[in-house]
Chains A and B, each alone.
Chain A
Amino acid sequence: MDIKEIKSKFPIFTNKVKGKKLVYLDSANSSQKPKVVIDRISNFYSKEFSNVGRSMHSLAVTATNRFEETRDLIKNFINAKFREEIIFTKNATEGINLVATTYGEKFIQDKDEIIITELEHHANYVPWHFLRKRKGAVIKFAECDKQGEVSINSIKQLITNKTKLIAVTHVSNVTGTIMPLSKIIDLAKTKKIPVLIDGCQGAPHIKLDMQKLDCDFYVMSCHKMYGPTGVGILYAKKKWLDELPPYQGGGGMIDEVKKNDISFPESPTKFEAGTLQTAEIVGFAESIRFIENIGIKNITQHEKEITEYGLEKLKKNNSVSIIGDPKERGAIISFTIKGIHPHDIATILDDDGVAIRAGHHCCQILHEKMGIPATARASLGIYNSKEDIDILNESINKCNKVFNN
């Protein structure tokens, strides 16, 4: 695989940052966009745009077809059984809120329990907290250990006959831990508990197969998948989508509207109220094609190689402590430097054109558990190379110089 050539497809890398070459190590936050995706959105607006599914004119037919094509591509990309199982949202956060609201409305009663983990992003905690406030649900946290792993046992011991949902991340956005999803889903199935997976850090890097994984819900954010902002995907098993009430109300999601009652169509229409991000959804089709042209397994392999190189390099750097040591790790390395706060690290790295993220990464529960208020995080995409890691490492050494350590 020619990474230089792949990287050349991303216009952002032709720009300089503070006169330096951009070393982008913040893809877990959001990935950069290839030219095909940017061009597709622009072309769609120039040549094919109109609103989807509402008018009879030919432009509307084209736009609707393009829009629905993306749904089919996603269905195949994640190997869902039915295209109706793919719901467009504005991001992963909205996907989780949709489930928390509608599933919560129908199935959660006072004292019912929801299991999440200490690794979760706030997006997979706060929506459940709302349910705790609204319905009296109880949230239980499966513990993570020093390595950043959540064992199957720590989940198992929390299950009771009141457990109504298990919601876990696919890959931790701090420690990079790849969760043992199959084990968790198998365990949940024996107790008939539905499982939601926050796939934000999984979908861009790991081959997905919904029929094999057999989870009930899986959410993604397209902007982390070389796609546009403003689009997310909720995969949900059809049986749930048939059973759950609508989420938001408005145009496009109704069947029949009368003064005394309203009926609703089936999924996905039922869950897609109002005009969606038409151009972005059309553009996302190109992101999937981009990923598939490279091959998701090749992406996993390349990122694994760079991650391992990064771990090796940073472990040799005495001033650096790496956060967590999971057996299975995605393309994420979080670290601290002795005596230098992560914000200061980020500012100094930025001076070298190295873009990382510093802070709690929307995981305050995890940072509290580890007893550190903030970490610095380098996260990878398909465009990163070993050279990027070398520049990162040099820049870390510069932090020590600036601070006279």
Chain B
Amino acid sequence: MDLKELYQEIILDHGKNPRNKKKCDGFNKDAKGNNPLCGDKIHVFLKLNDEKHVEDISFEGEGCAISIASASIMTEIIKGKDFNVAKKILENFINMLKEGSKPSINSLSDNENTTIMSLSGVKQFPMRVKCATLAWHTFLHAAEDNKKVVNTEK
């Protein structure tokens, strides 16, 4: 277990300067997520058009470097993708954190792949997996109009 693998430059950068941390203009869906054990809170805003294409996505919230970086990375990667593709990325991402499988998504650019892989170190810190997945689950709730607040302890 190496701290450097967890706190990679990309993560520290996204944690300190999160991208898309705001309410995006014209969002038509949103959802909230909580990690009650730690107090992490996240609110995801989504602009999904009639073709189920993610025109814009953003988030607001408070949490540790891992949860904020993961939310920021998620918005960068998912923006501009079709919902079906985004869902596939999400499933791959969660499998990567839970089972250690490498995400194999053709639709990701090399750059996007590097970015998402920067979170793979979280797998070695089981207590932190929830921090990394919170935003992603919350995105899914928003997209699927699930009004329940995501709760990592449910």
Point out residues on A near B: beta carbons under 8 Å. Answer: 18, 339-344, 347-348, 351, 358-360, 364, 367, 373-374, 402-404
Contacts and interface: CB of A to CB of B under 8 A. Distances in A.
Given A341-B65, A347-B6, A359-B39, A18 B128 contact: no
A373 to B, nearest CB: 4
Interface in B109-142: 125, 127-128, 131
A341 B63 contact: yes
A351 B39 contact: no
Nearest to B9: A404
B128 A347 contact: yes
Contact of B3 (A339, A358, A374, A402): A402
Contacts of B127: 347
Among A18, A340, A347, A358, the most chain B Cβ lie within 10 Å of the Cβ of: A347
Among B38, B66, B127, B131, the most chain A Cβ lie within 10 Å of the Cβ of: B38
Contacts of B39: 359-360, 364, 367, 373-374
Nearest to B125: A347
A351 B63 contact: no
28 contacts: A18-B1, A339-B16, A341-B63, A341-B64, A341-B65, A342-B64, A343-B40, A343-B66, A344-B64, A344-B65, A344-B66, A347-B3, A347-B127, A348-B3, A351-B1, A351-B3, A358-B38, A359-B39, A360-B39, A367-B39, A373-B39, A373-B41, A373-B62, A373-B63, A374-B38, A402-B7, A403-B12, A403-B65
Given A341-B63, A358-B38, 6 more contacts: A343-B128, A347-B125, A347-B128, A351-B3, A402-B3, A403-B65
Interface string B51-67: 00000000000111110
Contacts of A364: 39
A404 B65 CA distance: 13
A interface SS class:
mixed
Interface in B1-55: 1, 3, 6-7, 12, 16, 37-41
Nearest to B68: A341
Contact of B38 (A343, A351, A402): A343
Contacts of A348: 3, 7
Contacts of B1: 18, 351
Nearest to B131: A343
- Pick the 8 closest A-B CB pairs, nearest first: A341-B64, A343-B64, A373-B39, A374-B39, A360-B39, A344-B65, A359-B38, A344-B64
Contacts of A344: 7, 64-66
A340 B63 CA distance: 10
B32 to A, nearest CB: 14
B38 A404 contact: no
B65 A340 contact: yes
Nearest to A404: B12
A351 B37 CA distance: 21
B113 to A, nearest CB: 25
A58 B125 CA distance: 51
A340 B66 CA distance: 11
A284 B37 CA distance: 29
B96 to A, nearest CB: 19
Contacts of B38: 343, 358-360, 374
Contacts of B3: 347-348, 351, 402
A156 B128 CA distance: 44
Contacts of A339: 16
Contacts of B62: 373
A340 to B, nearest CB: 7
A404 B39 CA distance: 25
Contacts of A341: 63-65
A131 B41 CA distance: 28
A333 B38 CA distance: 18
A248 B66 CA distance: 44
A49 B131 CA distance: 45
A11 to B, nearest CB: 24
Contacts of B41: 373
A374 B38 CA distance: 7
B61 to A, nearest CB: 10
Contacts of A18: 1
A184 B44 CA distance: 46
Contacts of A347: 3, 6, 125, 127-128
Nearest to A348: B3
